[in-house]
Structure 1
Amino acid sequence: MKNKFFGKRRKTQEDSGRDSPSLAVQTRSPGGYGLLPFQENYLPQSSGELRLYRALREGVPIIDAAIGKLLRLVGSFQVCCGNPAAGRALADFLRNVPVNYGGCGIQAFLTAYFAQLLTYGNAVGEMVLNSAGEIGALYNAALEDVEFKALSPLKMQVCRREQGQSIPVDYPELVVTTALNPEPGSLKGTSLLHGLPFVSAILLQIYQTIGLNWERAGNVRFAVTYRPSGDGDRALAKERAKQIAAEWSKAMAKGSISDFVTVGDVSIRAIGADNQVMDSDIPVRQLLEQIVAKLGLPPFLLGLSWSSTERMSSQQADILTSELEAYRRLLNPMLEQICSVWLRLKGWDTEFRVEWEDITMQDETESANARLLNARAAEIEARLKGR
């Protein structure tokens, strides 16, 4: 469907100059765009890497919990427009726009977009136009369905994968993309889980070993030993061993309680009762410390009751606030692109800005006391200057 804002037009000399900043890049390898990260058909991550990060979230609950908390802690926003009528209409659109399969509101789109960005390092979304030429829905695209092509070191093209081919999208202005901390000269973002597969594999191996040990030690196994005392007993040892085994199995059968009676030199002991299971607290904590340090969340938010003073918790909350503000700055261009396209399609040419809600990680009482002390200090300073 052609749209008056996205229809094709002739390329003028001015447009050619606008698309030519790649010619000014002097630090680019002279081998062309087929080298290193700028492949002709470049997928942000391989399908195996995507499955690996997805498996990490499924296999290590603390990783999935951390991403879920970051999604909620990043908060919500509102858009302030210079035109009040445009602002009210835009707010209504952001509140009621359909998202994916049955979702509603820009917050649903933002949550899925941010989760994809944190998990895989890249996120792709699309503004879907309706028959009236307006944004009718927002869609979170799967990374397996898209490819990125580097047209130049400063220009990227989004393509869809169709029957093994890369087909450029018709209206790239309707597609939003974000990369998380990409390496210099690369289109590929860095997942928040980058560096965790090795540590997580060791942690899961410890958990699996603990499960096997409990399966062996929890379901007690017994060793029944029969020692023949004379030649007559040795001659009938095989038959008596079978009889003892049958009676022991009957006595230990599931759902039945019975006594085991035998004659002769028979000893019974629990297998593994003398073995001591290795202490896993210290290695598990060391591995969890590495994971928590990479995720950027304070341990107490993930249910880890490690020793922490009140002062330390306050500092950790301040660090988390700066992390969330960095994520917000990363998401702002995507939100501004959606709002800008919607306003242009509606015929409004007005300035706007995205304002996020304040991040309140501190206690309200402490915040009020801090404001009170600052006000008193300002009053005293004004009084001294007036003398």
Structure 2
Amino acid sequence: MGRFRSKAGAKKGAGDCCAVQTGHPAGQPFCSWQSYGAVTADAALYRNLRENIPILDAAIGKLVRLTGGFSLDTGSDGLNAQLNRDLSGINVGGNQQGIEAFIATYLDQLLTYGSAVGEMITDGRELYALYNGDTRNLEVRRAGNGLDLCFFSGGEPLPRPELLLYSVLNPEPGAVAGTSLLRGLPFVSRILLQIYNTIGQNWSHAGNLRYAVVYRPGNDAADRAYAGQRAQTMARSWQEAMDASSVKDFVAVGDVDVKVIGADNQVLESEIPVRQMLEQIVAKTGLPPFMFGLSWSTTERMSRQQADLLTTELKNYRRILTPVIEKIGRTYLQCCGSGAPFQVVWQDITLQDQTDTAQAHLYEAQAEKIKKETEKL
């Protein structure tokens, strides 16, 4: 399914427009190589981060869910009902259903890789499916004017790029690909995994003890003469005692010392360095620590401030997704023969307690009332 594996079709001619002045100079050697943009150069790295750092995977999942649902409003109740009903039941990749499922996967991909790609499947008469594409199968290049984007797959231009959905997150100037939410975390994550791996090894050793059995022969000539033989006998006896399925005593004669290897070593404290690494990771996600069950002496007032900041982050993601939803809605209406205008209506973000919100509205209304009464005096 989809255009990402298609090799048919010809590249559409670019229309006349003004070229940008800050792009790559035309005619410069290797200009075509410089205009190429790898969409997912670090895709494998970011996938591994999510697989190995559970808090990262949980953070992206929470951000996707907190972004919330939406509906399309055309101003007509009848058209609204048909539009939202059909889009909520549209096929998504053959294994999901509904435009919200498509947008959830789209946002997940956007946060993880910094770029997201999707496709509208239509025969010109109806929009019957949406498809979340794999960014590894997509090549993005700058057009000749240095501004527009051209999409390729397998070295061939996509035959119908107008059906493509492509978004980027925080792109650098001049870049065709976005910036992953996880950028900057590989170094911190490597340290965190190294600490966790060391903790696991220490506990493995604690459950699988190693012993040092030291035999010190006396000053007697007989002890020194048979020291090697007695050491071998004690080694066999110790091995039999350790291999036995039941508790077995170890009896030795002479100066014998039995110690656990590593028992005198001090285990490094891991709480502080682990917290320092987690603080960096949580700060990068933009989510308050309490959403992960982490209690870092966060006061209630600080929690509210963090919730306000998170609301701003979620609205930023919504601004990126809104054009994608609008393009899907326009395509659906065009297939239905309608050019009715519409807008995307997002659900309210409710991160704080409804009682506190209502109390704040009450205080605002009371303040406004007092202000009006004061002005009349």
TM-score, normalised via structure 2 length: 0.91
C-alpha contact 2:37 2:175 (8 A) present in aligned 1: no
Q: Secondary structure at the match of 2:136?
A: helix
Report the equivalent of 1:57. Answer: 50
Residue 35 of structure 1, CA deviation: 6.0
Report the equivalent of 1:276. Answer: 266
Report the equivalent of 2:177. Answer: 188
- Find the aligned partners of 2:27 and 2:331 in 1 and give their Cα distance: 33
Q: Secondary structure at the match of 1:138?
A: strand
Report the equivalent of 1:104. Answer: 97
Report the equivalent of 1:327. Answer: 317
Q: Secondary structure at the match of 2:350?
A: coil
C-alpha contact 2:39 2:136 (8 A) present in aligned 1: no
C-alpha contact 1:37 1:187 (8 A) present in aligned 2: no
Give the partner amino acid of 1:28.
G
- Find the aligned partners of 2:310 and 2:138 in 1 and give their Cα distance: 32
Question: Is 1:368–2:358 an aligned residue pair?
Answer: yes
Please give the root-mean-square deviation of Cα atoms over the aligned residues, in Å.
2.1
C-alpha contact 1:39 1:150 (8 A) present in aligned 2: no
Residue 375 of structure 1, CA deviation: 1.5
Gaps of 5+ in 2: 1-8
Report the equivalent of 1:355. Answer: 345
Deviations 1:55-74 (A, max 9, x none): 00011111111111101111
Residue 85 of structure 1, CA deviation: 2.9
Residue 108 of structure 1, CA deviation: 1.1
- Find the aligned partners of 1:45 and 1:319 in 2 and give their Cα distance: 29
Going from structure 1 to structure 2, the CA distance change for 1:372 and 1:295 (only over 3 Å counts) comes to same
Q: Secondary structure at the match of 2:243?
A: coil
C-alpha contact 2:117 2:135 (8 A) present in aligned 1: yes
Residue 32 of structure 1, CA deviation: 4.8
Residue 197 of structure 1, CA deviation: 0.7
Question: Which aligned pairs between 1:150-165 and structure 2 lie closer than 5 A?
Answer: 150-151=142-143, 152-161=145-154
C-alpha contact 2:92 2:131 (8 A) present in aligned 1: yes
C-alpha contact 1:117 1:191 (8 A) present in aligned 2: yes
- Find the aligned partners of 1:294 and 1:338 in 2 and give their Cα distance: 31
- Find the aligned partners of 2:299 and 2:289 in 1 and give their Cα distance: 12
Give the partner amino acid of 1:281.
E
Give the partner amino acid of 1:154.
L
Residue 38 of structure 1, CA deviation: 7.2
- Find the aligned partners of 2:321 and 2:30 in 1 and give their Cα distance: 29
Higher mean C-alpha displacement, 328-337 vs 273-282 = 273-282
- Find the aligned partners of 1:359 and 1:351 in 2 and give their Cα distance: 25
Report the equivalent of 2:202. Answer: 213
C-alpha contact 2:24 2:31 (8 A) present in aligned 1: no
Question: Is 1:21–2:13 an aligned residue pair?
Answer: no
TM-score, normalised via structure 1 length: 0.89
Question: Is 1:197–2:197 an aligned residue pair?
Answer: no
Report the equivalent of 2:6. Answer: none
Residue 250 of structure 1, CA deviation: 2.1
C-alpha contact 1:38 1:186 (8 A) present in aligned 2: no
C-alpha contact 1:336 1:354 (8 A) present in aligned 2: yes
Question: Is 1:300–2:290 an aligned residue pair?
Answer: yes
Question: Is 1:339–2:329 an aligned residue pair?
Answer: yes
- Find the aligned partners of 1:235 and 1:107 in 2 and give their Cα distance: 84
C-alpha contact 1:158 1:172 (8 A) present in aligned 2: yes
Going from structure 1 to structure 2, the CA distance change for 1:38 and 1:347 (only over 3 Å counts) comes to farther
Higher mean C-alpha displacement, 26-35 vs 250-259 = 26-35
Residue 205 of structure 1, CA deviation: 1.2
Question: Is 1:149–2:141 an aligned residue pair?
Answer: yes
Give the partner amino acid of 1:29.
H
- Find the aligned partners of 1:80 and 1:377 in 2 and give their Cα distance: 34
- Find the aligned partners of 1:364 and 1:139 in 2 and give their Cα distance: 37
Residue 31 of structure 1, CA deviation: 3.9
Give the partner amino acid of 1:380.
I
